[in-house]
Amino acid sequence: MRSETDVPGSSQVQPAATGRRAAGPAAAAAGWHRDWLAVARRNWLATVLLAAGLVLRVLVQLAYRPALFYIDTNRYLYDAEGNDPVGYKGPLRAILSVSNFDVVAAVQHLLGLAMAVVIYLLLRRRGAPRWLAALAIAPVLLDAYQLQAEQTIMPGAWFEALIVAGLAILAWRPVAGWRRVVAAGIVLGTSATVAQVGEALIVPAAVYLLVAGGGWRPAIGKAAALCAAFVLPILVYCTGSYLLTGGFYLSHTGATSFYGRTAAAADCATLRLPAAERRMCPTPAQQAQGPDWLEYNAASPIRPYYTDLPRARADSMLSDFNHQVLTQQPQRLLSAYGRDLLKMFAVTRATSPGDTPISRWQFQTTFPYYTSHATRAFVRTAVDRYGGGQPAVWRPVAAFLRSYQLDGGYTPGPLLMIFTLAGLIGSASAVLARRRMDAATRQLALACLLLFGAGAAITLVSGLFEFSWRYQLPALVTLAPGGALGIAVVISWIRARHSSA
């Protein structure tokens, strides 16, 4: 377990602190400085990684001014249509009301560093060795795709930060009190208003409370309280959506989003469909474009339905099409889904046929406007309105960042595979072997269950719709620390066996 001396100000350093206060402000400041240096030396590997992450973020901030803009950024600045919740508008508009895009990007980079610190402290509190806790934060600190996401005016960094905050609140102490349970539920539920896939977090959080025990009645009560708190921000968001738009929902995500997956996997030659839905089945050439193209492109087979029919009618027909594929050809759907899940563990990162191009999330040596002149005009209009200066690239640094990213500056797939297997082992032991564990190992296993379960839930649910390297980034703050905790569980088991022998 973490020593009290890991944090300045603990009970073991209070007498010295009292003496420094008596000696004057200068002596007190020098004493605190020595304490922090001692903490940094004891946690030297985490300190080095944190410094490297800070340097990389400063370079990214300087290389792409004022920030990077994605195809969907206009949804959060204005009122453009889209399928995702727009909870990101809250912090984005708040920052822009007093500053500009430079500050938005800086805040998101600070969130990246803060997530690493919180994860490290959480793992140390749960008893993970320093080197394992440092290994757990290396992905979020050093992964170039994470850096690119933080520089982009998109909700990814805020979504990850809400996940980490909610999980840390819940697991910070061995026994979560009622207030912590409610607070964690609210924070995790708020994540679903930023990215709807956050709804999946309710399952691992509730399972964690049930497995943690403390009596079946308190466990069930806390799980119920967490679920109620989780739903609260979602209900608030949906109520606001109803008052503003007339729709009581988080987003339009649903039938349309799942269509890309079902249409890409369907065998249209053997699929039995009503005559009115036959045109929804794509040609082989259209299927080769992949789920993202089938869902969003203007040439997709579903576009005429939404042009010629009321939205409710088109949604109903599309839901039936998805149901027909799911019931008639489940093996094709599961096969495509499984292949996409395994892509996360690939040795290199590349665009597979039909995938959304990975180049969208790679650093470029020129400012990326994607393909549309409208996008270029939107960026210029946005910076004129909100500030930060016209888009510019510091080419030498941008070239370095691109080279870093393409030549291995990302979390390797095999390492993610190790984290996943270790997290699975640690989580299973929390459920199946809890009576044979000592208290320290059980705390490791329970934390593993929570973090690994959250990562698995987000990854599995987001993969239902399509594969995108952008959707894999939450794994850096869930699967990676969950896997590190799983490794710590295995080490603890081995040590216990040697001790008993």
Lowest mean pLDDT: which of 72-86, 160-174, 203-217, 259-273? 72-86
Outline where 246-310 has alpha helix (H). Answer: 255-265, 284-287, 291-296, 303-308
Q: How many CB atoms lie within 10 A of CB 17?
A: 15
Residue 449 lies in a domain: no
More confident residue, 298 or 422: 422
pTM score, two decimals?
0.91
For residue 9, give both structure tokens. Answer: 């100000």
Give the per-residue pLDDT at 300. 93
For residue 333, name the pLDDT band (cuts at 50, 70, 90).
very high
Q: Which of 268, 353, 343, 259 is nearest to 297 (CA)?
A: 259
Query: 436 pLDDT exceeds 90?
Result: no
Residues pairing with 152 in the sheet: 68
For residue 15, give both structure tokens. Answer: 């007498």
CA torsion 374→376→377→382, rounded to 10°? 120
Residue 81 lies in a domain: no
Give the per-residue pLDDT at 435. 76
> What domain count does the chain have?
1
53-82 exposure pattern, b = at least 16 Cβ within 10 A, e = fewer? bbebbebbbebbbbbbbbebbbbbbeeeeb
Residue 392 lies in a domain: no
Write the CA distances from 486 to 434, 443, 454, 479, 494, integer angstroms. 14, 11, 14, 10, 13
For residue 35, name the pLDDT band (cuts at 50, 70, 90).
confident
> What value does the mean pLDDT of the chain take?
90
For residue 80, name the pLDDT band (cuts at 50, 70, 90).
low
The residue written with tokens 């093996």 in the block is: 331
Does residue 215 sit in helix, strand or coil?
A: coil
Does residue 24 contact residue 18 with C-beta atoms inside 8 Å? no
For residue 459, give both structure tokens. Answer: 């990854």
Query: Per residue in 439-475, pLDDT tens?
Result: 899 999 999 999 999 999 999 999 988 899 999 999 9
Residue 148 lies in a domain: no
Query: Per residue in 344-395, pLDDT tens?
Result: 999 999 898 889 899 999 999 999 987 666 678 889 899 999 999 999 999 9
Cα 336 from chain centre: 23
Rounded distance, CA 267 to CA 325, Å? 9
Query: 175 pLDDT exceeds 70?
Result: yes
For residue 42, give both structure tokens. Answer: 């004891």
**DSSP output for 19-30:** HHHHH-HHHHHH
Q: Which residues contact 52 (CB under 8 A, 6 or more apart)?
A: 141, 142
Q: Which residues contact 220 (CB under 8 A, 6 or more apart)?
A: 210
Q: What percent of the chain has pLDDT over 70?
A: 92
Residue 265 lies in a domain: yes
Does residue 64 sit in helix, strand or coil?
A: strand
Q: Report the half-sphere exposure of 26 (CA within 13 A, side-chain side).
A: 0
Rounded distance, CA 292 to CA 300, Å? 10
Q: Which residue range is the domain that position 288 belongs to?
A: 260-335
For residue 493, name the pLDDT band (cuts at 50, 70, 90).
confident
Question: Residue 89: exposed, middle, or buried by beta-carbon count in 10 A (0-12, 13-18, 19+)?
Answer: middle
